[in-house]
Amino acid sequence: MSDVVVRCSGISRTYQEESVPVQALQDVDFEVCKGEFISLAGPSGSGKSTLLNIIGGLDRPDKGDVEVAGVKLNDLNESELSDLRLQKMGFVFQAYNLIPVLSARENVEFIMQLQGVSPAERASRATAVLEQLGVEGMADRRPGELSGGQQQRVAVARAIVTRPVLLLADEPSANLDSATTRELLEMLRTLNETHGVTIVAATHDPIVMSYARRQVNLRDGRIVEDKQNEAA
Amino acid sequence: MSETIVLEPVAEDRAASLLSVRIGWRNLWRNRRRTWLTTGGIAFSVLLVMFFMSMQFGQYAIMIDSATSLMAGQVQVQSSRYLQDSRFEDTIVEATPLIRLLQENRHIVSVAPRVEAFALVSADERSFGAQILGIDQAAELETVRYVKMLKTGSNLAGPDDAVLGSVLARNLGVAPGDEVVVLGSGKEGGIAALVLTVVGLLETGMADLDRSLLLAPLSTVQAGFGLGDEVHTLVVRMDDLSSSDRVVTQLTEQLPDALTVRAWQEILPELKQAIAVDKIGGQIMYWIIMVLVMFSVVNSFIMTVFERTREFGMMLAIGMRPRAIVAMLQWEALFLWVIGTAIGAGLASLLIIWLHDVGIYMGEQMEDYAKQFYMPARLYPGFSREVLTVAPLAMLVGTQVAALIPSLRIRRLRPIVALRTT
Ligand SMILES: Nc1ncnc2c1ncn2[C@@H]1O[C@H](COP(=O)(O)OP(=O)(O)OP(=O)(O)O)[C@@H](O)[C@H]1O
Ligand SMILES: [Mg+2]
């Protein structure tokens, strides 16, 4: 468990957009090893999403270095960051994860098409991953015809079908009831334990924290606690 | 230490992938009302522009036909030197075989040979300068209209007959039955003298012609002016105006260099100019219509892009390139164009085909006028490549540009900002 997938050292991020500058992250050091399942916890505004976005190459720190899978993100331009996200990252957001006019299967195939995967391989991988997440019966439905939990499963399917080095989830359970949240988390745990998918999830949700094996607490843009979750 | 992963370049497939095209198509049907309004606008303007253009072209066809069939013909053959200097001796020699050659062309309906001379025409004490036309009466009747515009009397029949412009006849104080004497200089410098009997008077309504024209049989004029099988001009009637350019090119190659073949655009440059000026007027109207429609297309794309900002943010976040999203919107614009243009051009074609059969009645006054000048009393739409292509192609460019204007925003869109919009 010593393979480092993410290494953040001394990262700070200040938002200047408002009249008062907001320090979203202050001098954060953070590492993620291969195979971990981490929850980023903390009150609203503590910097969870900011950290997740910086790791995912969606945002840049004002200070500090970020290295993902051996690639220094600071050195990449926008197009290279875009390619990195496509090939190395899987994203699950709180909502609006899926393209509304594509079916579940097409959503999963779409990202592989962006990667240039051949049609035959796209089809077989999409079938496999939808099955794995228990939504094979919904393959031809569009997101609007799926429940919130089913949508999130398809989103996870879309995120992992590319075999990313890192699965990043921002409030994946925010729109789900607790039973559905547990089902989704069981899936994520299986992916983590049996398929070795590395997961980092930003969340307020105690259920999500209880499934994660490591919990990192943030407050005012700093890591205040970093603990292993023995119960998980 | 972590394994170092090199980013391999992503296939070009990304920019125009199949699913992007599908997304573009399906997005049209997310807001059906807006799509139908936009395509309706495109359809309406294509219909309008195609219809008006075809009516405009129909009108030009009538103008050209009536102007050329009056006297000038659609194509003329002359000696190149005659065309330059208008000297009597620069004739087309061996006219008869040349006429036969022209008649073999399947686009040529008839050929009227003319000898053109200036001479003094006298009756009793009065003399006037006149334009003498030696014509082949039968060929002339087949080719042009002015010979039919008799005020009194009849057309040429005998070898010594003459038909005079009505004003010339009045000036000379002659009527059908009277004799006139024609005096001019012949080809070899000798005196040309003819004594002709007036059989008919011509009233074309064109002051120049009515004041100066004297028609006499071709062979009489040739003999009188010392010409052999020679003429000055061959006036050609075409089966269809649209073939005149092609036939001119063909004949220019076929005939000796000493001869020049001209189409109506060169024979009647003022007509060509009048049409060009009128076309500009039409074009201004068409561009106004199209620009108005473009504004509505731009507007619809601004709304589309605005509404889908979060969706675009998600697409950017998962690694889709901005230009791939722009390409997707270009596909949407293309589909809008296809639908709108298919409907507009389809309706316009039906309308044009129907009017092509029945024509548009232009009113009683026009009918009288038309009858008088042997013109069609109804206006028929014209079909041409321009009618079929200008509006659709302008719309194609317009919709692509209209989609591009708002989608340029996407290039500056940052995924996390887009994902935060509500
Ligand atoms: N684009 C932005 N412009 C301005 N301020 C921002 C922006 N994004 C985040 N912030 C601010 O930065 C701080 C950290 O935000 P962040 O979204 O990382 O918090 P969070 O822990 O994810 O909160 P939540 O639990 O509400 O999602 C907050 O004070 C927030 O208001
Ligand atoms: Mg957040």
Kindly give the number of the ligand 1 atom that is closest to the alpha carbon of A42: 21
B345 and B283: one domain?
A: yes
**A114 touches B: beta carbon within 8 Å:** yes
**AA identity, residue B279:** K
For testing contact with chain B, the best of A99, A111, A162 (most B CBs within 10 A): A99
Residue B261 belongs to a domain: no
Banded model confidence at residue A61, pLDDT cuts 50, 70, 90: very high
Query: Nearest by CB to A70, which of B2, B27, B316?
Result: B2
Q: How confident is the model at residue A20 (pLDDT cuts 50, 70, 90)?
A: confident
The model's confidence at residue B315, banded by pLDDT at 50, 70 and 90, is: very high
Pairwise CB contact (< 8 Å): B19 & A102 = yes
As given in the structure block, the two tokens for residue A37 are 């399942």
Quote the pLDDT of residue B6: 46
B chain contacts of residue A87, beta-carbon cutoff 8 Å: 7-8, 10, 319
Instruction: Indicate if ligand 1 lies below 6 Å from the C-beta of A75.
Output: no
> Cα(A221)–Cα(B189) distance, rounded to whole angstroms?
113
For B59-92, the pLDDT digits (tens) are 888 888 888 989 999 999 999 999 999 899 999 9
Are B323 and B187 members of one domain?
no
Give the pLDDT score at B12. Answer: 46
Nearest-angstrom CA–CA distance, B181 and B197: 9
As a whole number of Å, the CA-based R_g of chain B is 33
Final residue before a domain boundary, out of B231, B251, B286? B231
Same-domain check for residues B344 and B388: yes
- CB-based contact A33:A22 (threshold 8 Å): no
- pLDDT of A91-125, one tens digit each? 999 887 899 999 999 999 999 999 999 999 999 99
Quick check: ipTM above 0.90? yes
At residue B375 the predicted structure's pLDDT band, cuts being 50, 70 and 90, is: low
Q: Is residue B240 part of a domain?
A: no
Q: What mean pLDDT value characterizes chain B?
A: 89
Say what the pLDDT of residue B374 is. 55
Q: Are B54 and B352 in contact (CB under 8 A)?
A: yes
Indicate yes or no: CB of B419 within 8 angstroms of CB of A96: yes
Domain A35-61+78-228 class? alpha beta
- Residue B197: phi and psi, rounded to 5, are -105, 125
- What tokens does B409 get? 């925003």
Most distant CA atoms of chain B, gap in Å: 125
> Which is it for the CA torsion A58, A63, A69, A75, positive or negative?
positive
**Among B135, B140, B138, residue whose Cα is nearest residue B219:** B135
Tell me the sheet residues that pair with A214: A38, A228
With an 8 Å Cβ cutoff, are A58 and B416 in contact?
yes
CA distance A187 to A184: 5
Cα of A49 vs centre of ligand 2, distance in Å, is 4
Same domain, B207 and B97: yes
Q: For residue A53, which atom of ligand 1 is closest to its CA?
A: 18
**Is B284 within the bounds of a domain?**
yes
| CB-CB under 8 Å, A106 with B320 | no
Instruction: For residues B16 and B330, give the distance between their C-alpha atoms in angstroms, rounded to a whole number.
Output: 10
Looking at the predicted structure, is the pLDDT value of residue B329 above 80? Answer: yes
- Picking from A150-154, B19-23, B121-125, which range would have the lowest pLDDT averaged per residue? B19-23
B367 and B411 both lie in a single domain: yes
Is the Cβ atom of A45 under 6 angstroms away from ligand 1? Answer: yes
For residue B182, the number of C-alpha atoms closer than 13 Å in the C-beta half-sphere is 30
> Residue B159 falls within a domain, yes or no?
yes
B305 to chain A, closest Cα gap in Å: 14
- For residue B371, is pLDDT > 80? no
pLDDT value for B122 = 95
Domain count, chain B: 2
Note whether B44 and B170 are same-domain residues: no
Confidence at A203, pLDDT banded by 50, 70, 90:
very high
At B133 the three-state DSSP class reads: strand
What is the H or E stretch that residue B421 is in? none
| CB contact at 8 A, B289 and B44 | no
Residue ranges per domain, chain A?
35-61+78-228
A70 contacts in B (CB within 8 Å)? 1-5
Distance (Å) from CA A183 to ligand 2 centroid: 22
Same domain assignment for residues B114 and B219: yes
Interface check for A22 against chain B (CB to CB < 8 A): the answer is no
Q: Could you tell me if the CB of A96 is within 6 A of ligand 1? A: no
Measured from the Cβ of residue A72, the count of other Cβ atoms closer than 10 Å reads 11
Domain housing B100:
91-231
Residues B44 and B129 in one domain: no
Q: How far is the CA of A15 from the centre of ligand 1 (A)?
A: 9
pLDDT more than 70, % of chain B:
93
Ligand 1: nearest atom to the Cα of A171: 27
Query: Which residues have a Cβ under 8 Å from the Cβ of A86 and sit 6 or more positions away?
Result: A111, A114, A115, A162, B10, B318, B319, B320
